[in-house]
Amino acid sequence: MNNPNTVTTLINKTAEFDVAKIRADFPILNEKIHGKPLVYLDNAATAQKPSHVIEVLNDYYRETNSNIHRGVHTLSEKATAQYESARNKVKDFVNAESTKEIIFVRGTTDAINLVAQSFGRDTLKAGDEIIITELEHHSNIVPWQILSDQTGATLRYVPINDAGELILEEFEKLLNNKTRIVAVGHISNALGTINPIKTIIDKAHAVGAKVLVDGAQAVPHTRVDVKALDCDFYAFSGHKLFGPTGIGVLYGKEALLDAMPPYQGGGDMIQMVTMEKSTYNVLPYKFEAGTPHIAGVIGLGAAIDYVNELGLEAAAQYEIELLDYANEQATQVAGLNLVGTAKNKTSILSFTLDGIHPHDIGTILDGEGVAIRAGHHCAMPVMERFNVPATARASFAFYNTRQEVDALIQAIDKCQKVFN
Ligand code: 7TS
């Protein structure tokens, strides 16, 4: 049972954070699924979009659509100004030193592949070592496997404990003067574990390695300060931050990006092209070949305006309290096993039900209007570690409510009645 003081604190905090008002900003939350109110608990896969983002995208295509960085006409200048203004918003959002350090890419996956190929292929050789972890999303595993095949570098994995936390002593044992890159997720998409990335970054730097942080699950739930972290690269996706799909960000320290060769060749990334050779554009354009996702960038800027206005810190606090509530309810369900019980975790409830396959849980819950993800969550090594083929995963955002947690628990109950 809660102690009464905690309950009072929760009620006060919930009152400060006006969820009903916030929900009104997200039109999709009024949808009905199979005749029931949508309970959207698949935010780790992609988050919903506020009207502000939808309207900015709509306005862009209605009033401004034009290609950037090349036209002398009014619309092109307007589109370019909006695109570059969004870059400035991203720079401030992650507290980068300069807009030269903000590269627009398709998403986290694209950002990590860029670093693996442009930085990694240029720098690594046989005998060098790359450290990742057992907690990673496939996007932060496969690009490093490809790089190690290409270069002969060895890939090492930091193991996790039974709670789903990285074992830091094992990380320290793996570090040595051959470690060139450490690539680690800030928050696990499969379990919700918040990793101690500042400690990881400092320890990696002490042996001279560069650090990439996969921030896909972190930016919607926590304030990121790349200067304070001192990470070398930080990657995230717009669509998990309430912005459009198909757009993401690679932050990189300017000196590193400057020394890296281009990832792709094409328009906009060059200074001069002759039939013999080309010279490349300055940062950040060197890494933005071809017509970019202009509307996506402007939409991402609008999403950042939205979360800044909302206050990520207050949202994060609300989400922690919501997860506590969900945990409390879930642990009372007989036959429900939580997967991932890290002390420091956020927004994700991964679980299995005795005798019921996660895909069946997903289907029954959908019938009740409750959207969760069932599967391996593109983190097959995590599933292997916990000896399960898959989990059911409810993932929360600041617009979710305790009533929705109750709807989840009722739908789980129905699922157990159907199968047992
Ligand atoms: N890294 C992490 C930690 C992620 O959670 C994801 C996507 C990615 C990288 C890849 O991001 P993308 O935008 O390039 O696809 N995670 C999930 C998920 O948990 N369910 O669907 C996508």
The span from the first CA to the last CA of the chain, in angstroms, equals 29
Taking Cα atoms as reference points, which of 158, 169, 124 lies closest to residue 143?
124
Same domain, 189 and 320: no
d(CA 414, CA 217): 30
Structural domain ending residue among the three candidates 263, 285, 308: 308
- Is 378 assigned a catalytic role? yes
Residue 17's domain comprises 4-30+311-419
Same domain, 183 and 317: no
In a domain, residue 239? The reply is yes
Same domain, 94 and 117: yes
In a domain, residue 46? The reply is no
Same domain, 164 and 248: yes
Same domain, 281 and 322: no
Structural domain ending residue among the three candidates 308, 341, 375: 308
Ligand 1 center to 175 CA (angstroms): 26
What CATH number did the domain enclosing 207 receive? 3.40.640.10
Mutation probe of ligand 1 site: the residue of 42, 108, 391 with most atoms within 8 A of C-beta: 108
Q: Which atom of ligand 1 is nearest to the CA of 239?
A: 13
In a domain, residue 98? The reply is yes
Evaluate the omega torsion of the peptide bond into residue 284 and state whether it is cis, within 30 degrees of 0.
yes
- Out of 163, 378, 380, 388, the active site residue is 378
Cα 303 to Cα 68, 89, 151, 357: the distances in Å are 21, 10, 39, 36
**What confidence score (pLDDT) does residue 241 get?**
98
Decide: 107 in ligand 1 pocket, CB within 6 A. Answer: yes
Per-residue pLDDT of the chain (420 residues; tens, 9 = 90+): 334 333 333 444 444 789 999 999 999 999 999 999 999 999 999 999 999 999 999 999 999 999 999 778 999 999 999 999 999 999 999 999 999 999 999 999 999 999 999 999 989 999 999 999 999 999 999 999 999 999 999 999 999 999 999 999 999 999 999 999 999 999 999 999 999 999 999 999 999 999 999 999 999 999 999 999 999 999 999 999 999 999 999 999 999 999 999 999 999 999 999 999 999 999 999 999 999 999 999 999 999 999 999 999 999 999 999 999 999 999 999 999 999 999 999 999 999 999 999 999 999 999 999 999 999 999 999 999 999 999 999 999 999 999 999 999 999 999 999 998
In a domain, residue 290? The reply is yes
In a domain, residue 43? The reply is no
In a domain, residue 303? The reply is yes
Decide: 45 in ligand 1 pocket, CB within 6 A. Answer: yes
Same domain, 186 and 302: yes
Q: 3-state SS of the chain: helix, strand, coil percent to 5? A: 45, 20, 35
Ligand 1 center to 373 CA (angstroms): 12
Q: How many domains does one find in the chain?
A: 2
Same domain, 108 and 255: yes
Ligand 1 center to 35 CA (angstroms): 30
Decide: 44 in ligand 1 pocket, CB within 6 A. Answer: yes
Same domain, 318 and 263: no
Q: Is 192 left (phi over 0), alpha (psi -120 to 50) or beta?
A: left
Same domain, 116 and 252: yes
Ligand 1 center to 130 CA (angstroms): 21
CA 230 to chain centre: 19
d(CA 291, CA 282): 16
Taking Cα atoms as reference points, which of 103, 97, 67 lies closest to residue 82?
67
Same domain, 67 and 129: yes
Specify the 3-state DSSP secondary structure of 298: helix
In a domain, residue 38? The reply is no
What CATH number did the domain enclosing 336 receive? 3.90.1150.10
Q: Which atom of ligand 1 is nearest to the CA of 186?
A: 3
Sign of CA dihedral 28, 32, 36, 42: negative
Same domain, 78 and 100: yes
Structural domain ending residue among the three candidates 255, 273, 308: 308
Same domain, 117 and 181: yes
Mark out the alpha helices in 95-196 (DSSP H runs).
Answer: 108-114, 121-123, 142-151, 168-174
In a domain, residue 35? The reply is no
